[in-house]
Chains A and B, each alone.
Chain A
Amino acid sequence: MDSALIPEGVKRCSFGKFIFWLVIFGAVLLWGIVAMLLCWFKGLNQTNMNDAYGFALWIWADLAVIAVGGGAFFTGLLRYIFGKDELKNIINFAVLIGFICYSSALLILAIDIGQPLRGWFIFWHANVHSMLTEVAFCLSCYFAVLTIEYIPLILENRQIDRVPFFHNLSHNMHGVMAIFAATGAFLSFFHQGSLGGVAGVLFGRPFAFREGVFIWPWTFFLFTWSAAACGPCFTILITWITEKITKKKLVRKNVIMLLAKIAGWMLATYTIAKIIDTWYWATVTAPAAGHNFMDFYSNNPLYGIWILVLEIVICGVIPSIILITKTGRRYSFLLVGAVFLGALGACVNRWVMVLQVMAVPVLTFESWFMYFPSWQEIATTILPVAYGIMLIMISYRYLPIFPQEREIEEEKHASIFV
């Protein structure tokens, strides 16, 4: 029915099946939209946030999707600046994931603020000292970059490509893509960092506060680094999942291996840096504010020391070891497990740096603050997931996201007939 729109030389599932799944995820999306509208029209009383939890699930979701969406900028950086040419075979998908992540982040931010209609004040009345201003500027600029990177992909749709103007536009954009990518990498470096800075500069919150250089706390660099490490992990993970669902190979193994190796080294160095940071914080920074390290990990089952072990050892050390060793990478289940843990590590880190910061009491006469999100918060957080799946479904079906797909398919057919 829609075969005219499907890229040439590849197979797609039936239109009916496609629509069926689209409707399923559309329903989830709709649920999220209802929740979103409730928040906009009735206000943030729809959430379970309170004056102790000014930042909660949404800010975590924001930080997490941006961290795992870091694959786009880092792969772009590797491909366009460092000339890792093989990565051109995964860059489209990385860009798509990045686009989904960043658009989701912006949407969540638009729901999260108390006065969405005044959201643009962050630009207009910008306070250049605020990490959040830096986040907002770089985030929206980088989203513009991602859009620019995503547009040529859309234009490559079989029907659109027929229009000469779009064909030429797409061609020209490819021509200057390196400049866009470089700008994007620059912007991304800063907003990933400033998201880390958001927590790190809170000198009123000893759990979050870190020393640093110039205006940037250590978390600034750690966040950028971890996004560069975990973003590619997430890209690989989603690629693997897509391959499992479509039941075919979409990216050649050498591409994945290269990306996994680089991600592994990034993750390993990040983990070392994170351990040093944690050590210094636990023994110098926090005690200076009068806090015992274990003060931060006691009193309640959620924020026990296990969360630190999970973040650093299970989601840092272990996947690093797997990814930097050839043997580790060779076994598919180890590789997938490692990239999963890597992406999870970034999410746990963001959780800790947002929610545990709020939970830890600072005034001696207050106690731990616990919070559980309302359904509206959960629905609006799941909304981007449904939206992401739908956008991947549509993009995969109609756009040449995976340049190697046709080749691999043809080889497979050839091998059958040989």
Chain B
Amino acid sequence: MKVCRRSFLSLIIGGAAGVALSPLPLKLTDDSSIWTQMWPWTPVPEDGEVSHVDSICTLCPGGCGITVRKVATMSGDRAIKIEGMKGHPVNDGGICVLGLSGLQLLYSPTRVKTPLKRAGARGEGRWEEISWDEAIAEVVKKLEGLREKGKSHTVACISGTDSGTTAHLLGRFLTVYGSPNFIRIPSIQDSYELTMRLMQGVQASAGFDVENADFVLSFGSGLIEGWGSPVRMIKANSTWKDRGKVVQIEPRLSNTAAKSDKWIAINPGTETVLALSIAHVIIQKSLYSADFVNNYSSGFKEFKQIVLDEFSPDDVSEITGVSASTIESLAKSFAGASKPLAVCGRGQGETPGSLNEFMAVHALNALVGNINKTGGVWAVPDPDYIKWPEVEMDRTAANGMRKARIDGAGSKRYPDVRYLLDRLPDAINSGKEYPVEALFVAGANPVYTIPDSNAVKEAFNRVPFVVSFSSYMDETAANADLILPNHVFLERYEDVPAPVGLQKPIIGLSKPVVKPQFNTKHVGDAILLMAKSFGGMIADAFPWDSYEACLKETLGNKWDSLINDGFWFDSNFRPADWKSAFNTPSGKFEFVNKGLAELVKIEGDEQSYPLILIPYDSMRLASGFIGNPPFAIKTVEDTVLKGNDIVVEVNPRSARGFREGDHGILSTPKGSVKVRVHHFDGIMPGLVALPRGLGHTAYDEYLAGKGVNFNELIGPVEDPVSGLNAAWGIRAKLTRA
């Protein structure tokens, strides 16, 4: 027994010693280390031959050129990096956060991979996968039904843009079908177009020759925060560092304000008054361009009268919070600069704003005579390369087209404006007009981007048939009945005319970088299929086999240069000279008077809501129809988003009782939300600033549920002249959580 135990022990000990001295432990140690160096769950990107494709980014209206690096692997082409296109007239190699994150959208798990038909209740998230044939048939059946009942006008279409072939195909379809309700997503483009029409008598977008301006007077525009074509504006800002001055007028120290040469903190909403007071000084001291004012303008006398009577710096300094001396010196430096430029449209310009403000600011440009001049504001005519034959409408269509628009644009009350999407929710909910029976959404995410989210959702719920063309499961798609997923911009052809704010005509071409990853279809092709299904005059209006064929034919001789260079650019373009520039009844620039002094009154009373909530925009937060991809959300600072909490900026003087990072409840007449408080000395006391672009409920776990959507807290305020949304803020209060 004893011997037995001893030999057993010896065996164990001897064996252990033997194994320990053998190469086995060394081998195992080495192997385990090698294993950690190539853990099977850490991906190893497949290599292959590298190539580059030039294209155009369409994630915002900026129209930047991009160069996409891709690698050809055994398992197919992979796009691996998006870079700015060198030599592109808009961005010359530069690129923004969103553009850089584009591949995360292309390969996003939130993409809609095949046509989907709602299976559960609206917004419940239960879908049935259907084929494209079924999807098209579904839409056509619905539309045919409405048409038979003479309700073709009850179909509406919300589009992110009204330029380019896709938008034109949508619009054309709506026309031959018989609905006047093509609606573009609102922005300051609406206000600038209206300003151009009223003051210069032209249908044109405003282009800004920022590269050549040497004194930029910005009324709250986020010049380097996404206003206009973002990368181009940031580039221009760098040139101003070398030769030029920027004065930023806004109540909060935005990045633009911080980078400007002078930041003038103004009481929010009083920008119009300040602009007119600057005009007062310019006129009173005769600093204006006599040539322009005397020879090419009309209505100056009346304008001068009002401005001199009511807007002296002393009169307005209390309203605006800007001292009289500051106003005077500002006016002098503006008028004294060789190429001054005044711009407006707050932040990224997603809210159209007050028409009076736009006209007051544009009047400043006129006073210094920089209309259609180097370094000034140019009227850029809409691109005219889309020359399709006039549509021939059948009687149903003609009847439908004679109906008034649901949003009131072009009506007697708002005759000059083309689209008024912000009025749509109320038009639907109040039932004052006709009900909307079917709604199409393309290149837009109105459920997220339109103010007063509750009203928007209610309106959507009242529309019996909603079709989304979204590539992603965004808020609008999630609330749709049918999703006809579009290719992502890296998978499709698309002409991209006229980047916003550009002073020269340019057309870019988005190209397929990789083949479609999923069972998606170009919106253009989907429309062609629908039209063909209808037959008759509707089909006749679309004589093309495919979107690509349509695009090629439309672009004609520009196609080759677009394919080779990625863009077509008229670098010799000059705007019309003063003699022929103005199509107003007087043939001159008109200092229009449409109730200049009236300031936009924001919602809420001061008693219950002592603070004012304003939004702010950031290049790191996409607040348009695209939500922030993971890279972009990763760049967001912890003073903007902390965990899932949105952080609001409050001046320490107004944040009594709230320490840095404290939770609070922010309430407005539209709703209340949980926030965290960040003390920021750069914001005017009495204000609360909340970042836009957060609070998504759709998309993936990297974005959904983070923060609050500003649109839940604010509703539109109708501009009395234009009918556009002029709300720049809303009254609010901050209480303990």
Q: What's the interface size class on B, roughly?
A: under 10
Residues in A whose Cβ lies below 8 Å from that of B36: 115, 117-118
A115 to B33, CA, bound (A): 9
Which residues A118-157 have CB closer than 8 A to chain B? 118, 120-121
B-side contacts of A121, CB under 8 Å: 33
CA distance A121 to B32 in the complex (A): 12
Q: Which residue of A lies closest to B26 (CB)?
A: A120
Inter-chain contacts of A117 with B (CB < 8 A): 29, 32-33, 35-36
A30 to chain B, nearest CB (A): 25
Identify which of residues 76-128 in chain A touch chain B, using a CB-to-CB cut-off of 8 Å. 115, 117-118, 120-121
Please provide the chain B residues from 35 to 84 with a CB less than 8 Å away from any CB of chain A in the complex: 35-37
CB distance from A159 to the nearest CB of B (A): 12
Which residues of B1-59 have CB atoms within 8 Å of chain A's CB atoms? 29, 32-33, 35-37
Task: Report the separation of the CA atoms of residues A117 and B32 in the bound assembly, to the nearest whole angstrom.
Answer: 6
Contact partners of B33 in chain A: CB under 8 A: 117-118, 120-121
Residue of A nearest to B36 (CB): A117
Residues of A within 8 A of B29 (CB): 117, 120
Nearest CB of chain B from residue A229's CB, rounded to whole Å: 38
- Which chain A residue lies CB-closest to B31? A117
Residues of A within 8 Å of B37, CB to CB, are: 118
Q: How far is the CB of A217 from chain B (nearest CB, A)?
A: 32
Q: How far is the CB of B642 from chain A (nearest CB, A)?
A: 15
- B35, closest chain A residue (CB): A117
Cβ of A41 to closest chain B Cβ, rounded Å? 13
Of A115, A117, A120, chain B has the most CB atoms within 10 Å of the CB of: A117
Residues of A within 8 A of B32 (CB): 117
Q: How far is the CA of A369 from the CA of B708 in the complex (A)?
A: 28
B643 → chain A, closest Cβ, in Å? 15
* Cβ < 8 Å to A, chain B residues 386-408: none
A120 CA to B36 CA, complexed, in Å: 13
Complex interface residues of chain A between 296 and 334 (CB less than 8 A to chain B): none
Residues of B near A120 (CB, < 8 A) are 29, 33
Tell me the nearest residue of chain A to B6, going by C-beta: A163
Provide the bound-state CA to CA distance between A26 and B29, in Å.
30
- Closest residue of B by beta carbon distance from A119: B33
B35 neighbours in A (Cβ, 8 Å) = 117
In the assembled complex, the Cα of A121 lies from the Cα of B30 at a distance in Å of 10
Residues of B within 8 A of A115 (CB): 36
State the CA gap A268–B35 with chains docked (Å): 51
Bound complex: CA of A353 vs CA of B29, how far in Å? 33
Nearest CB to that of B37 among chain A residues? A118
**Cα(A120)–Cα(B33), bound, Å:** 9
**Distance of A120 Cα from B32 Cα, bound (Å):** 11
User: Min CB distance, B41 to chain A, in Å?
Assistant: 12
Taking CB atoms, residues of chain B closer than 8 Å to A118 are 33, 36-37
Minimum C-beta distance from A185 to chain B (A): 28
Q: How far is B39's CA from A117's CA once the two chains are assembled, in angstroms?
A: 12
Q: Measured between alpha carbons, how far is A396 from B29 in the docked complex, in Å?
A: 36
Q: CA–CA, A396 to B361, complex, Å?
A: 91
Cα(A117)–Cα(B29), bound, Å: 7
Q: Could you tell me the distance in whole angstroms from the C-beta of A370 to the nearest C-beta in chain B?
A: 13
B67 to chain A, nearest CB (A): 33
Q: For the complex, what is the distance from the CA of A118 to the CA of B38, rounded to whole Å? A: 12
CA distance in complex: A264, B33 (Å): 47
Closest-CB distance, B284 to chain A (whole angstroms): 46
List the A residue with the shortest CB-CB distance to B32: A117
Shortest CB-to-CB span from A214 to chain B, Å, is: 34
For A118, give the chain B residue with the smallest CB separation.
B33
CA distance A164 to B328 in the complex (A): 107
Please report the C-alpha to C-alpha distance between residue A121 and residue B33 in the assembled complex, in whole angstroms. Answer: 9
Q: How far, in angstroms, from A120 to B29 measured CA to CA in the complex?
A: 9
A117 to B33, CA, bound (A): 6
Inter-chain CA distance A217–B304, complex, in Å, is: 78
Closest chain A residue to B28, Cβ basis: A117
CB distance from A123 to the nearest CB of B (A): 11
CB of B9, distance to nearest CB on chain A (Å): 10
Q: Mark B241-258, 1 if CB is under 8 A from A, else 0.
A: 000000000000000000
Q: Determine the residue in chain B with the shortest Cβ distance to A121.
A: B33
- Which B548-584 residues have C-beta < 8 A from chain A? none
B66 → A minimal CB distance (Å): 32
Query: Please, how many angstroms separate the alpha-carbon atoms of A395 and B111 in the complex?
Result: 65
| Binary per-residue interface labels of chain A (376-394) against chain B in the complex, 1 for a CB within 8 Å, 0 otherwise | 0000000000000000000
Q: Which of A166-184 contact B (CB under 8 A)?
A: none
With A and B bound together, what is the CA distance between A357 and B299 in angstroms? 71
Minimum CB–CB distance for B39 against chain A, Å: 10
From residue B668, how far is it (CB to closest CB) to chain A in Å?
A: 32
User: Shortest CB–CB separation between residue B448 and chain A, in angstroms?
Assistant: 33
Which A residues form the contact surface with B (CB < 8 A)? 115, 117-118, 120-121
Given A117-B35, A118-B33, A121-B33, 9 more pairs with CB closer than 8 A: A115-B36, A117-B29, A117-B32, A117-B33, A117-B36, A118-B36, A118-B37, A120-B29, A120-B33
- What are 9 A-B interface contacts by the 8 Å CB criterion? A115-B36, A117-B29, A117-B32, A117-B33, A117-B35, A118-B33, A118-B36, A120-B33, A121-B33
Closest A-B pairs by Cβ, 6 of them: A117-B32, A118-B33, A117-B36, A117-B33, A115-B36, A118-B36
